[in-house]
Chains A and B, each alone.
Chain A
Amino acid sequence: MGNLKFSYQTNMWGLKVQYPKLSDWNEWYKGDFSNSVYYLDWDQILKYHVGAGFTGIELMFHMQPYIEQFFGEPQAFTAFAQERGIEAVTGTFAIAFNSQDKSRRKEALDALQTNIDFTADLGGHVINVMPCGGYYGLGPLSKEQVTNAAEFMNEFGRRCNEKGITPCVHTEFWGAINKADLFPYIEQLDQKYVGFCLDTAQVLIMGYDPVKFYDDYHDFVKFFHLKDTTFAYTPDELRLCAGAEFQDNGDRWFWELGAGQVDFKGIWKLLKKYGYKGWIGLETDGTPDPMATMLLSKYYINHELLPIYE
Chain B
Amino acid sequence: MKYGCSLEMVNMLTSSLNFIYKQSKSFWVDYFKFIAAAGFKGIELPFNPFGGDPMAFETGRCGIPLSAGAIQAKYGSPDEFLAFLNDVGIEKVVSIHMNANDVQLEANVRGYSRKLYFELLEEMGLAAVAHAASLKAECLVVSPSPELGWLNKYGIAEDDVEFEDATVVVLNTVAKAAKGAGIALALKAEYWSFFRGKRLAGLQNSVAGALMAPDLAHLQIAGDPVTAVVKAHAHETACLHLCDTAFKDTVGNYARINAEIPVDGAQKVFCDLGEGDVDLLGAMKALKDSGYDGWVIAEQRKTPDVYRGLLKMRWFIDHEIEKKLGEA
Contacts and interface: CB of A to CB of B under 8 A. Distances in A.
Contacts, number: 120
Interface stretch (B19-27, B154-162, B177-185, B288-296): B19-27
A199 interface: no
Nearest to A36: B304
Contact of A23 (B258, B267, B271): B267
B55 A70 contact: no
A15 B305 contact: no
Contacts of A290: 17
B48 to A, nearest CB: 13
Contacts of B19: 13-15
Given A242-B73, A246-B24, A250-B27, A14 B14 contact: yes
Given A70-B258, A243-B74, A12 B304 contact: no
B277 interface: no
Nearest to A61: B54
Given A27-B267, A62-B55, A246 B63 contact: yes
A15 B13 contact: yes
Most buried by A among B17, B62, B271: B17
A119 to B, nearest CB: 15
Contact of B54 (A24, A64, A134, A246): A64
A23 B304 CA distance: 18
A250 B26 contact: yes
Nearest to B149: A69
Contacts of B272: 31
Contact of A27 (B16, B58, B266, B305): B266
A17 B13 CA distance: 8
Contacts of B26: 247-250
B265 interface: yes
Contacts of A285: 20
B202 to A, nearest CB: 30
Contact of B62 (A64, A245, A288): A245
B231 interface: no
Interface in A1-34: 12-20, 22-24, 27-28, 31-32, 34
B61 interface: yes
Interface of B: 12-21, 23-27, 54-55, 57-59, 61-63, 70, 73-74, 105, 108, 257-258, 261, 263-268, 271-272, 275, 304-305
Given A22-B267, A36-B305, 13 more contacts: A14-B15, A15-B55, A28-B268, A31-B272, A31-B275, A34-B304, A36-B17, A62-B55, A62-B57, A243-B63, A243-B70, A243-B74, A248-B63
- Top 6 A-B pairs, shortest CB-CB distance: A14-B15, A250-B26, A62-B54, A36-B304, A242-B73, A288-B18
7 contacts: A27-B266, A36-B305, A45-B15, A61-B54, A62-B54, A249-B24, A249-B26
Interface of A: 12-20, 22-24, 27-28, 31-32, 34-37, 39-40, 45, 61-62, 64-66, 69-70, 134, 242-243, 245-250, 285-290
